[in-house]
Amino acid sequence: SQQGEEDPQALSIQEGENATMNCSYKTSINNLQWYRQNSGRGLVHLILIRSNEREKHSGRLRVTLDTSKKSSSLLITASRAADTASYFCATGNFGNEKLTFGTGTRLTIIP
Using CB under 8 A, list all residues that contact another protein: 2, 30-31, 33, 35, 40-45, 48, 88, 90, 92, 95-104
In whole angstroms, the minimum distance from the beta carbon of 78 to another protein comes to: 24
DSSP string, 20-78: EEEEE-SS--SEEEEEEE-TTS-EEEEEEEETT-SEEEETTEEEEEETTTTEEEEEE-S
In whole angstroms, the minimum distance from the beta carbon of 15 to another protein comes to: 26
